[in-house]
Structure 1
Amino acid sequence: MRPSHRSTALALLISAAATGTLTLWGVAAAPDSVRTPLAWGAGAAAVLLSVCVAVAVHTLGTARRLRAQLAADAERFTSETSRLVSSSAVEAQRFTAETARIKGAAAAETARLVSEVRAENERIASAAAAEQARLGVTVDRLTARATRAETERSAAIAACANAAGRMQALSTSMLADLREMEHRHSDESVLGDLLHLDHRTAQAGRLADSIAVLTGARSGRRWAKPIVMESILRGAMGRIGSYQRVRLHSTSDVAIAGHAAEGVMHALAELLDNAANFSPPTAEVHVYVEEVPAGIVITVEDSGLVMSEVQLRRAEKAVSADHQDLTNLSGTRLGLAVVGRLARKHGLTVSFRPSARGGTGALMMLPQELISRASTPAAPAARNAADAGAAVPAQAADPTTAPAEPEPSHGSAAGQDRTDAAPAARPAAGSDAPASTPAAEAERPGSPVDSVSESTGGVPEFGESGLPKRRRGRTLAAAEARTGNVTPGGADHPRARTTDPKVQAARFSTFSKAVRANSPLPEGNTR
């Protein structure tokens, strides 16, 4: 039994014995009448007193035990606190030492890394400087090479432009000489050869004009008056090799502004040549002229190769006004690029679509700004427009309704006549009524030719290099003067022209035979 319980039991026993003794004595001494109630009351009081004494003793023992335990716990806590304080001091010293060690190691590592980074930066900077110097030398070399290439390119383009200008002047002069020879010679064979040379020279002039357009040089001439659409169409026909296959369908009476007539004629000639080269040799090329609210639409339709969607997009890109890249051009594919340059210059719109005839249709729209409805516009003929480089063929029948027969072979051309191949857009040899043309206007007093002669006065001009400088238009003026069209005084000297119908018929027959016997080959692909 635990000590506290023993003391409690002992106290209960003592108190019970004492209270029991007293209760027994009191009951024995009391009278008999109150002895029983007294016994019960005294017994209950004795029991209660004994319990109270036992509880008090137990409480005192428990308190004493708790005080002893508390004292022991306090002593143990004090010793544990002392131990923890000493351990904390030791840990603090160790942490301080470790912190100092880590700081020292970090400082040393930082110094090492900083030195390595500085050394690497210096190495990179020196390598970058050397590389930059090397790249600078390379860039300077490439810049010099590019500058030299650009200079050579500009010089080549300038040389091409100069050569094109010389070719234009030469073809103009040659056309004037051929025209004069055609009026002087009446022999059929000679006249046929001259007309053939005239046509080939006109094609060479178109090629020179194309080179001039691509190089940005001056191309063609500016007419003083509007040119009727019929003359534009025939002038374009006269600049291609297969003009016999072209059929015109036009009833328009509009005229094209003089400053744009040459460009429109040239662009139309390229489209016609394109259609003729990419269609069978016996197929016809049809030209339609339609007036629309936005201007004039000229449609060229052939029955040759059908262009795919990719080819149509490529062709429309080539003739678009924004397309100026000539790096992908080949020697035989210049036509669309020329058309694109002319479209950009004159505001033309060119598009392509599949033709109802089975080939490809090219549509060229002329804006209203280029259209004139003058009451008496000038109608240039190919002969009188020799300075424009156009030898215009015509048909004896109505060109809008009479299709031409397929080109005969060389073997069957000897005994056949074809009047539809005779050049009628200009006055033929022996014609008595020449049309009113810009060239004819130039032959009148006060014309630009006279002004050129008067402005020069026979005194050559010199450029910065000290070499003689030629004025524009003097070649044409000199050619016209040699052929008798323009005199120094500006007076008109009409050419002597035969009016004999037999001579005229013989000349046209000779030209027809010469054309069939010397059918020109296609000049190259332009698609």
Structure 2
Amino acid sequence: MTARSRQSGKPAALATALVAVVVAGAAVVAAVSSAQAGNGLAVGLWSSLAAAVWCLTVGAVLLQWRRARRLAVGLATVRTKGEAALAAVLRAEAATAVAMAEARAARAHAAAAQREAEAARAEMLAARAEAIEARSEAAAARAAADDEREELARLAEQSIPEVVRRLRAGASVETVLVAHRHTAHEGLLALLAKEIGYGERQRAAALAVCATAAGRVQALATSMHAELREMEHRHGEEVLGDLLRLDHSTAQAGRMADSIAVLTGARSGRRWSRPIPVESVLRGALGRINGYQRVRLHSASGAAVAGYAAEGVMHVLAELMDNAANFSAPPAEVHVYVEELHAGLAVTVEDGGLGLSEVWLRRAEQAVSGEPLDLTTLSAGTRLGFAVVGALARKHGLAISFRPSSRGGTGVVVLLPEQLITHQEREAEPEPERAEEARPPAGARPTAPAVSAVPALPRSAGAGGAVEPASPSASSSSTAPKTPAALGGADGLPRRRRGQTLAAAGGVAPTVVRGPARLPVRTAGPTDRTADRRADGGADEAGAVATAGRFGAFRQAALGARPAAPSTPAVPRTTPAADAPASPDHASPAHIPNTVEDNT
């Protein structure tokens, strides 16, 4: 109900009340007027009627007012509810508007999200395409990497080793690179081949220089040997000891030159045409070392070493003997044993030194093994002996092993294979009557007693250093002159041909002396220089002088001098002729004490 309706209800109630009052007043007036007319009953009726009308009117007015009041309350309630409903509607409309706005915003957001999702889907599809492309590229890169890895492996395992091997074999860079044209690493191989070729040329030039120098040293040693041998025959005993020391030093210099030649791959020594007896090989090796006085040989073998390998075996034994003597403090001795085996010939060199540590033992075994020689492992200060031994062992098929020595040091066993060993029959030793036949008649100058000669070393055959072996198996007819005049001089003494031993000159085959040999006693007194050296007390000087004295006694016997004969036979020291220079590969037997002992 509106406010206008409420305002219109109030005047209607008032009008009704006013009408009731007016009717009541009219009734009263009518009653009064009737009363004046004198009718009391009529007055009463009219008064009652007026009162009733008035009551009815008042009741109607009250009822109307009450109804109007209820209507007003109802209208107010309805108005309140309407206003609340209107407010609710307004709120609902506002909420609807907000919801619609939110819905529109949500739709816009959803549209944006959909657009973003579509963009993300497009990006995902693009990323998937890129991933597929990247996967394809990765597979291609992996395949290329595998190919590159295979190419690098082939380059490292096949191409480069082949290039290095062919370049080291002497092929030119252009020849080597022909097989590697149009390859993936052609430029790298070309650069590497050029560098390796340059290095190999430098290495070959350095080795050639060293080999040339070694050859010249060998030639000088050969020439010095020849001159020293000639001087030993020409000069007296006062300088003989010095000459023998120089001769021995020259032999050691020749061994060093041979070692350099072996390490550089050049030719060392020579190949003899006939087998060389083992005793001669041992004594030849002994003549090339410094401490030969402390070496004791124990050999009862009648075997001989093939001529082409005798020089190499001699050099190997010389290096091992020298190493054993150098690392054994004097007066410790070095013992060399020879044993014939089914597989060949075993030569054992034992010393009494401190032995080898585990590290040095492994290095020594590596050096003498059958692996190719690597000069880069020979640093400054490295000993060359084992490297030389390893090179010669590889060349001739020798087997070299190390073991502890029973003397507290180190034992080295050299096994010569069977193909290098030959066996020769020994000739009978000379009869005592042979010495009597060579004795001159009374009145002639006394000469040295007849003796058995030790096997002579290979003798020099020319100034160029060519060496001929003096084999004990050679018959006397092949070594001695066939004419009687060649067997002795006018005084009946045997004469030695140049390049022959005294025993061969007398027609007696050389034999091996068993047991300690005694040398001829020199009756003449020592020279002043010899006396001074002995007074100094030097071990080397005394040894050289003693050797010189023994060699002088032998030389006097060979030349016809007559010193007093000792009561027991002695062993002469043979020497090559003065005009036959000794090879730098060995020393004269005059320098070597007779140390071939019986090992039985």
Q: CA deviation at 1:119?
A: 11
Given that 1:182 and 1:429 are in contact with CA atoms closer than 8 Å, whether structure 2 keeps it comes out as: no
SS of alignment partner, residue 272 of structure 1: helix
SS of alignment partner, residue 419 of structure 2: helix
Given that 2:316 and 2:388 are in contact with CA atoms closer than 8 Å, whether structure 1 keeps it comes out as: yes
Given that 2:302 and 2:425 are in contact with CA atoms closer than 8 Å, whether structure 1 keeps it comes out as: no
Q: Distance in 2 between matches of 1:413 and 1:342?
A: 36
Matched, 1:164 2:214: yes
For residues 169 and 146 of structure 1, do their structure 2 counterparts lie closer, same or farther at Cα, with a shift above 3 Å needed? Answer: same
Given that 2:281 and 2:457 are in contact with CA atoms closer than 8 Å, whether structure 1 keeps it comes out as: no
Q: Distance in 1 between matches of 2:370 and 2:515?
A: 31
Amino acid of the structure 1 residue aligned with 2:265: G
1:211-256 CA distance string (max 9 Å, x none): 1111111111111211111111111011001111111111111111
Equivalent residue for 1:322?
371
412, 416, 423: which one aligns with 2:537:
412
411, 418, 421: which one aligns with 1:368:
418
Q: Distance in 2 between matches of 1:388 and 1:286?
A: 31
Q: Distance in 2 between matches of 1:485 and 1:205?
A: 17
Matched, 1:285 2:334: yes
Given that 1:247 and 1:403 are in contact with CA atoms closer than 8 Å, whether structure 2 keeps it comes out as: no
Q: Distance in 1 between matches of 2:268 and 2:232?
A: 26
454, 457, 460: which one aligns with 1:381:
457
Task: Give the 5 Å matches for 1:471-486.
Answer: 484-485=579-580
Q: CA deviation at 1:144?
A: 3.5
Q: Distance in 2 between matches of 1:426 and 1:374?
A: 33
Q: CA deviation at 1:160?
A: 0.9
Matched, 1:240 2:240: no
1:228-286 CA distance string (max 9 Å, x none): 11111111011001111111111111111111111110000000000011110221111
Q: Distance in 2 between matches of 1:373 and 1:242?
A: 30
Matched, 1:299 2:348: yes
Amino acid of the structure 1 residue aligned with 2:273: A
304, 308, 312: which one aligns with 1:255:
304
For residues 398 and 315 of structure 1, do their structure 2 counterparts lie closer, same or farther at Cα, with a shift above 3 Å needed? Answer: same
Q: Distance in 2 between matches of 1:118 and 1:338?
A: 61
Deviates more, 1:107-116 or 1:226-235: 107-116
Give unpaired runs (5+ residues) of structure 1.
1-95, 391-396, 441-479, 487-507, 516-527
For residues 179 and 108 of structure 1, do their structure 2 counterparts lie closer, same or farther at Cα, with a shift above 3 Å needed? Answer: same
1:95-138 CA distance string (max 9 Å, x none): x99998776444443566689899999999xxxx9xx9xx9877
Q: Distance in 1 between matches of 2:551 and 2:273?
A: 19
For residues 190 and 409 of structure 1, do their structure 2 counterparts lie closer, same or farther at Cα, with a shift above 3 Å needed? Answer: closer
Q: CA deviation at 1:307?
A: 1.5
Q: Distance in 2 between matches of 1:430 and 1:207?
A: 33
For residues 162 and 372 of structure 1, do their structure 2 counterparts lie closer, same or farther at Cα, with a shift above 3 Å needed? Answer: same
SS of alignment partner, residue 239 of structure 2: helix
Given that 1:231 and 1:425 are in contact with CA atoms closer than 8 Å, whether structure 2 keeps it comes out as: no
Q: Distance in 1 between matches of 2:338 and 2:456?
A: 19
Given that 1:380 and 1:426 are in contact with CA atoms closer than 8 Å, whether structure 2 keeps it comes out as: no
Deviates more, 1:360-369 or 1:412-421: 412-421
162, 174, 199: which one aligns with 1:149:
199
Matched, 1:273 2:322: yes
Q: Distance in 2 between matches of 1:141 and 1:319?
A: 36
Amino acid of the structure 2 residue aligned with 1:346: H
Task: Give the 5 Å matches for 1:16-95.
Answer: none
Given that 1:203 and 1:239 are in contact with CA atoms closer than 8 Å, whether structure 2 keeps it comes out as: yes
Query: RMSD of the TM alignment (CA)?
Result: 4.9
Equivalent residue for 1:491?
none
For residues 410 and 105 of structure 1, do their structure 2 counterparts lie closer, same or farther at Cα, with a shift above 3 Å needed? Answer: farther
214, 226, 229: which one aligns with 2:275:
226
Q: Distance in 1 between matches of 2:296 and 2:303?
A: 19
Deviates more, 1:106-115 or 1:228-237: 106-115
Q: CA deviation at 1:347?
A: 1.0
1:65-86 CA distance string (max 9 Å, x none): xxxxxxxxxxxxxxxxxxxxxx
Q: Distance in 2 between matches of 1:123 and 1:174?
A: 73
Give unpaired runs (5+ residues) of structure 2.
1-113, 143-147, 153-184, 428-453, 469-511, 520-532, 560-570, 582-589, 594-600
Amino acid of the structure 2 residue aligned with 1:345: K
For residues 423 and 102 of structure 1, do their structure 2 counterparts lie closer, same or farther at Cα, with a shift above 3 Å needed? Answer: farther
Q: TM-score of the superposition, structure 1-length normalised?
A: 0.53
Given that 1:205 and 1:389 are in contact with CA atoms closer than 8 Å, whether structure 2 keeps it comes out as: no
Amino acid of the structure 2 residue aligned with 1:360: T
Given that 1:175 and 1:389 are in contact with CA atoms closer than 8 Å, whether structure 2 keeps it comes out as: no
Q: Distance in 2 between matches of 1:353 and 1:312?
A: 10
SS of alignment partner, residue 321 of structure 1: coil
Q: CA deviation at 1:389?
A: 9.5
340, 344, 348: which one aligns with 2:394:
344
Q: CA deviation at 1:146?
A: 3.1
SS of alignment partner, residue 297 of structure 2: strand
Given that 2:302 and 2:426 are in contact with CA atoms closer than 8 Å, whether structure 1 keeps it comes out as: no
Equivalent residue for 2:228?
178
Q: CA deviation at 1:322?
A: 2.3
Q: Distance in 2 between matches of 1:110 and 1:219?
A: 77
Q: CA deviation at 1:383?
A: 6.1
Q: CA deviation at 1:364?
A: 0.6
Q: CA deviation at 1:373?
A: 1.4
The structure with more radius of gyration: 2
SS of alignment partner, residue 364 of structure 1: strand
Amino acid of the structure 2 residue aligned with 1:342: L
Q: CA deviation at 1:403?
A: 12
Q: Distance in 2 between matches of 1:365 and 1:426?
A: 38
Q: Distance in 2 between matches of 1:426 and 1:109?
A: 107
Q: Distance in 2 between matches of 1:143 and 1:427?
A: 65
Q: Distance in 1 between matches of 2:245 and 2:392?
A: 28
Q: TM-score of the superposition, structure 2-length normalised?
A: 0.47
Matched, 1:335 2:335: no
Q: CA deviation at 1:382?
A: 6.5
Given that 1:227 and 1:380 are in contact with CA atoms closer than 8 Å, whether structure 2 keeps it comes out as: no
Sequence identity percentage: 52
Equivalent residue for 2:50?
none
Given that 1:249 and 1:400 are in contact with CA atoms closer than 8 Å, whether structure 2 keeps it comes out as: no
For residues 402 and 120 of structure 1, do their structure 2 counterparts lie closer, same or farther at Cα, with a shift above 3 Å needed? Answer: same
Q: Distance in 2 between matches of 1:310 and 1:143?
A: 36
Amino acid of the structure 1 residue aligned with 2:425: S
Amino acid of the structure 1 residue aligned with 2:410: T
Q: Distance in 1 between matches of 2:244 and 2:357?
A: 39
Q: CA deviation at 1:184?
A: 1.6
